[in-house]
């Protein structure tokens, strides 16, 4: 039965908005708790970055970074259980590679989603309101398959709507066949048929697309160029003491820093997770080497080169390129363009009806508390993967999803359902607890000898 506000009278403990890996993990971890939870997504089913489902691509974190294992290794929703249930456990064991194929991760997540009764697809959330009288949240959604509007009530809301493809201003609204990397596999054939392709970007996606196109360039009769404004094609850093920064205690440290310093560190730390896997860089080199053995390879690789403008003339893009160190400009023509220019978190517009209940920082972004809540310490509205500016590099990391979900569930349930490690690293990121402070000694108590 629905109330005056059109919302069903039933109050859920939790509504999750968005069913990507992070809220899907939350749904799996919530399942055995008895909490009354519903999860909404505007898509018609789970599909993980389908435009980047390149054959042979792997995920960049070990398989233990699945939806549940780091929180509950006994969960039925684990990647290992999926391997067992699908008859892939022994081949995976023999393969001896920690990194699952991207296609496997996608299939595993869809398998987990199919086992959960409380996921509602084709539900686009359009507004979140607060019912002050009942002190609950109203989540309004539009069915993308029927156009029907629904409203549900909940005591807690967890927003995990991911990030959006991001394109630098000079490259927006270009016209012509330019695409963002998130749509790559849907356009691969057309790109190869265009005769010349330019990939713009310095991250894993740019490298994977370049590698995928390079192999068939000469035989396929097209050229593929790779342009990045980064000073070099830099690898993601995977050394173990650096990986210790993907930890609760480094997140504590980062979160406690002043905004300005977090901004600076955020930029500085990009290379830790926005670079290219070292194996892929070497694989690209080896491919260039192999191809060059039988003649010139139809490719150009440009670093420290920014695309400052692009004009589509109906057949080609005329790119204007600026070389950073030389401070010179030059032009290049290309028939097609792949913008592997990354993703950015946005504050979802559906939060605006409750904006006055939320915390904002000096730059108009959500001021996400350490427990991932955004509602002035009430601990009722949370975000996932929207807190890179407050929590640092753990925000988009699949390896940290289970810890964050355990923390959010502990806040919702008022108890630690899954053990929350407070300290996992060997190193200290701030001042060690046993440090002796250098503050000047307190004034001597009259008559007390102070040793000199
Ligand atoms: C190609 C690619 C590969 C990556 N590989 C890795 C990796 O190997 N390891 C790693 O640690 N990280 C990786 N990442 C980073 C990150 O982990 C992923 O982006 C991950 O998918 C983020 O999960 P999410 O749940 O935050 O968001 P998403 O997966 O983006 O899911 C968000 C969901 O919210 C839904 N949604 C959005 N708005 C609404 C709305 N208004 N109403 C209802 N639903 C809505 C969307 O339909 C979507 O299903 C990768 C990123 C990309 C782009």
Query: For the domain that residue 216 is a member of, what is the CATH number?
Result: 3.50.50.60
448 CA to centre of ligand 1 in angstroms: 64
Question: Which atom of ligand 1 is nearest the CA belonging to 52?
Answer: 1
Among 343, 366, 383, where does a domain finish?
343
Which residue range(s) make up the domain with 305? 166-236+274-343
Instruction: Please tell me if the CB atom of residue 60 comes closer than 6 angstroms to any atom of ligand 1.
Output: yes
Among 343, 366, 382, where does a domain finish?
343
Instruction: Please tell me if the CB atom of residue 124 comes closer than 6 angstroms to any atom of ligand 1.
Output: yes
Instruction: Please tell me if the CB atom of residue 12 comes closer than 6 angstroms to any atom of ligand 1.
Output: no
Residue 440 within a domain: no
User: Looking at the structure, do residues 399 and 310 belong to the same domain, yes or no?
Assistant: no
pTM: 0.94
Q: What's the rounded Cα separation, in Å, for the pair 121 and 245?
A: 35
Per-residue pLDDT of the chain (452 residues; tens, 9 = 90+): 455 566 678 999 999 999 999 999 999 999 999 999 999 999 999 999 999 999 999 999 999 999 999 999 999 999 999 999 999 999 999 999 999 999 999 999 999 999 999 999 999 999 999 999 999 999 999 999 999 999 999 999 999 999 999 999 999 999 999 999 999 999 999 999 999 999 999 999 999 999 999 999 999 999 999 999 999 999 998 899 999 999 999 999 999 999 999 999 998 888 788 899 999 999 999 999 999 999 999 999 999 999 999 999 999 999 999 999 999 999 999 999 999 999 999 999 999 999 999 999 999 999 999 999 999 999 999 999 999 999 999 999 999 999 999 999 999 999 999 999 999 999 999 998 888 888 665 554 444 444 43
Question: Which atom of ligand 1 is nearest the CA belonging to 399?
Answer: 11
User: Looking at the structure, do residues 73 and 119 belong to the same domain, yes or no?
Assistant: yes
396 CA to centre of ligand 1 in angstroms: 8
User: Looking at the structure, do residues 189 and 316 belong to the same domain, yes or no?
Assistant: yes
- Locate 130 and state its tokens: 């607060």
User: Looking at the structure, do residues 323 and 364 belong to the same domain, yes or no?
Assistant: no
Question: Which atom of ligand 1 is nearest the CA belonging to 181?
Answer: 1
User: Looking at the structure, do residues 104 and 197 belong to the same domain, yes or no?
Assistant: no
Among 343, 370, 385, where does a domain finish?
343
Q: What's the rounded Cα separation, in Å, for the pair 216 and 329?
A: 30
Instruction: Please tell me if the CB atom of residue 51 comes closer than 6 angstroms to any atom of ligand 1.
Output: no
Instruction: Please tell me if the CB atom of residue 37 comes closer than 6 angstroms to any atom of ligand 1.
Output: no
User: Looking at the structure, do residues 35 and 86 belong to the same domain, yes or no?
Assistant: yes
129 CA to centre of ligand 1 in angstroms: 24
Question: Which atom of ligand 1 is nearest the CA belonging to 58?
Answer: 8
Per-residue pLDDT of 387-432, as tens digits, reads 999 999 999 999 999 999 999 999 999 999 999 999 999 999 999 8
385 CA to centre of ligand 1 in angstroms: 8
Nearest of 320, 292, 121 to residue 218 by alpha carbon? 292
Q: What's the rounded Cα separation, in Å, for the pair 424 and 314?
A: 56
Per-residue pLDDT of 110-130, as tens digits, reads 999 999 999 999 999 999 999
Please tell me the residue having the least CA distance from ligand 1 atom 15. 396
User: Looking at the structure, do residues 119 and 132 belong to the same domain, yes or no?
Assistant: yes
User: Looking at the structure, do residues 128 and 173 belong to the same domain, yes or no?
Assistant: no
Q: What's the rounded Cα separation, in Å, for the pair 413 and 401?
A: 18
Residue 432 within a domain: no
Question: Which atom of ligand 1 is nearest the CA belonging to 350?
Answer: 41
Largest distance between two CA atoms of the chain: 92
User: Looking at the structure, do residues 66 and 146 belong to the same domain, yes or no?
Assistant: yes
Residue 318 within a domain: yes
335 CA to centre of ligand 1 in angstroms: 30
Residue 155 within a domain: yes
User: Looking at the structure, do residues 375 and 355 belong to the same domain, yes or no?
Assistant: yes
User: Looking at the structure, do residues 32 and 115 belong to the same domain, yes or no?
Assistant: yes
Residue 355 within a domain: yes
Residue 285 within a domain: yes
Number of domains in the chain: 2
Residue 448 within a domain: no
User: Looking at the structure, do residues 282 and 205 belong to the same domain, yes or no?
Assistant: yes
Residue 442 within a domain: no
Beta strands in 160-253 (DSSP E): 164-165, 179-180, 196-200, 223-227
């Amino acid at each position: 039965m629905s109330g005056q506000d059109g919302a069903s009278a039933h109050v859920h403990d939790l509504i999750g908005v968005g069913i990507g890996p992070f809220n899907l993990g939350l749904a799996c971890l919530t399942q055995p708790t008895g909490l009354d939870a519903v999860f909404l997504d505007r898509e018609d089913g789970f599909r993980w970055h389908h435009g980047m489902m390149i054959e042979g691509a792997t995920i960049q974190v070990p398989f233990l970074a699945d939806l549940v294992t780091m929180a509950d290794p006994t969960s039925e929703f684990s990647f290992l259980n999926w391997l067992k249930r699908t008859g892939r456990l022994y081949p995976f064991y023999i393969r001896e590679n920690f990194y699952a194929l991207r296609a496997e991760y996608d299939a595993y997540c869809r398998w987990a989603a199919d086992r959960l009764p409380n996921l509602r697809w084709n539900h686009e959330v359009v507004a979140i309101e607060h019912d002050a009288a009942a002190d609950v949240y109203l989540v309004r959604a539009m069915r993308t398959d029927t156009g029907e509007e629904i409203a549900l009530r909940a005591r807690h809301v967890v927003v995990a709507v991911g990030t959006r493809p991001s394109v630098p201003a000079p490259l927006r609204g270009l016209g012509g066949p330019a695409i963002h990397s998130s749509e790559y596999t849907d356009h691969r054939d057309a790109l190869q048929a265009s005769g010349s392709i330019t990939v713009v970007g310095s991250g894993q996606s740019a490298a994977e697309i370049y590698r995928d196109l390079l192999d068939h360039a000469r035989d396929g009769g097209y050229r593929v160029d790779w342009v990045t404004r980064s000073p070099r094609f830099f690898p993601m850093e995977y050394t173990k003491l650096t990986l210790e920064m993907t930890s609760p205690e480094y997140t504590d440290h980062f979160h406690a820093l002043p905004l300005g310093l977090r901004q600076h560190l955020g930029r500085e730390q990009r290379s830790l997770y926005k670079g290219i896997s070292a194996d892929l860089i070497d694989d690209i080199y080896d491919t260039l080497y192999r191809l060059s053995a039988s003649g010139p390879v139809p490719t150009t690789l440009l670093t420290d080169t920014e695309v400052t403008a692009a004009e589509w003339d109906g057949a080609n893009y005329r790119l204007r390129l600026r070389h950073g160190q030389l401070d010179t400009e030059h032009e290049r023509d290309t028939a097609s363009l792949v913008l592997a220019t990354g993703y950015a978190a946005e504050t979802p517009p559906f939060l605006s009806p409750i904006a006055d209940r939320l915390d904002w920082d000096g730059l108009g972004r959500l001021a996400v508390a350490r427990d991932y809540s955004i509602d002035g310490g009430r601990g009722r509205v949370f975000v996932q993967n929207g807190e890179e500016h407050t929590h640092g590099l753990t925000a988009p990391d699949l390896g940290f999803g289970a810890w964050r979900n355990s923390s959010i569930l502990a806040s919702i349930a008022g108890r630690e359902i899954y053990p929350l490690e407070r300290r996992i690293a060997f190193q200290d990121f701030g001042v060690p607890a046993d440090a002796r402070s250098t503050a000047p000694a307190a004034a001597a108590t009259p008559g007390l000898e102070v040793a000199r």
